[in-house]
Amino acid sequence: MHDPSISALSLRLQRARRITVLTGAGVSAPSGIPTFRGPQGLWRSHRPEDLATPQAFGRDPQLVWEWYAWRRKHIASCEPNAGHVALARWSQVLPCFTLITQNVDGLHERAGTSGVLRFHGSIWHLRCWDRCGIEPWRDDRVPLPELPPRCPACGGLARPDVVWFGEPIDHRVLDQCQAALDCDLFIVAGTSSVVYPAAGLLDVAAARGAFTVEINPEATDASSRVNLSWRGPAEQVLPLLLDPGP
Ligand code: BJW
Ligand code: ZN
């Protein structure tokens, strides 16, 4: 590893007491999962207001579920990449490490990271649309036997346990994230940093004294707000940081 800023970042990672990483769709892109924005992004061919709002689901649950069923099938055929694997290793060897992800695909967990804080929920979990009181449940069957699926408790409609536009973040997840923002090093990787409140976590961590880093091949809304904006693909940069080469 010859790049001086990568070496400096690597040293920072090894010396930091508490490290928190926030990932976005770009971390799963090399696994073949489309991002949301950008030339091949999902929002180029699908309008978020038709598919990713509670109003859209209320109007046409079948359409929304068909989109989620298509994504579930695709994700099930994808594998974690070197970026996921590197972060899984960090989670195993760094004593105070927290991984927050905006991704709903479950690839961090499949790579071996436990305790992932799923900021926008999980495509593999469902919950009751009628809020009958049942806790969200996991259902990773592909395909689902019934579309739209039903709540096992009340027989009403089930919905994906994800966070749509206009919906609040689960307060338990938010509390755990807040605690993880008291860190020495905060890294954002593979996110355009345009969706709030996720994009604001960086600023909270910075205000509490963290050194902030962005890893992304493109400049983003966060680039000017971080201490170090590293332009590169997460699957290449992340594996270099903990295990520097010769
Ligand atoms: C690589 C790479 C490689 C490529 N390596 N990098 C103005 C108008 C309307 C609304 C708002 C507004 N201002 C704020 C809002 C609120 C809204 C919001 O932020 N909107 C903005 C878009 C304007 N936020 C919300 O509504 C949130 N809720 C909320 O605010 O609640 C308030 C409330 C309080 C109390 C009561 C009620 C309400 C919720 C946001 C939910 C977002 N949901 C989605 C869908 C999740 C489910 C699903 O997947 O189906 O989350 S949208 C989508 O965007 C998804 C993502 O998690 C999220 C972020 O996207 P991400 O990960 O950044 O992906 P991309 O595609 O944007 O970027 C990819 C990046 O990767 C790029 O930068 C590439 O360069 C990079 N990349 N290859 C590293 N190899
Ligand atoms: Zn129910």
Q: What is the mean pLDDT of residues 66-75?
A: 98
- Which numbered atom of ligand 1 lies nearest the CA of 120? 46
The CA–CA distances, whole Å, from 169 to 57, 130, 190, 196, 226 equal 18, 18, 20, 10, 24
Residues with CB under 6 A from ligand 1: 24-26, 29-30, 35-38, 41, 52, 102, 104, 120, 162-168, 189-192, 194-197, 216-218, 220, 233-235
**Residue 153's pLDDT band (boundaries 50, 70, 90)?**
very high
Query: In whole numbers, what is the pLDDT of the chain averaged over residues?
Result: 96
Q: Is the pLDDT of residue 40 over 70?
A: yes
Task: State the pLDDT at residue 245.
Answer: 62
Q: Are strands 121-128 and 137-138 parallel, antiparallel or unpaired?
A: antiparallel
Q: Is the pLDDT of residue 13 over 60?
A: yes
- Which numbered atom of ligand 1 lies nearest the CA of 102? 57
Task: State the pLDDT at residue 243.
Answer: 75
Of the bound ligands, which one is closest to the alpha carbon of residue 163?
1
Q: What is the mean pLDDT of residues 6-29?
A: 96
Task: State the pLDDT at residue 53.
Answer: 98
Task: State the pLDDT at residue 6.
Answer: 87
**Residue 246's pLDDT band (boundaries 50, 70, 90)?**
low
Burial (0-12, 13-18, 19+ Cβ within 10 Å), 245: exposed
Q: Residues 111, 87: contact at Cβ < 8 Å? A: yes
What would the DSSP string read from start to end of 82-122?
Answer: HHHHHHHHHHHH-TTEEEEE---S-HHHHHT--S-EETTEE
| 120 tagged catalytic | yes
**Residue 5's pLDDT band (boundaries 50, 70, 90)?**
confident
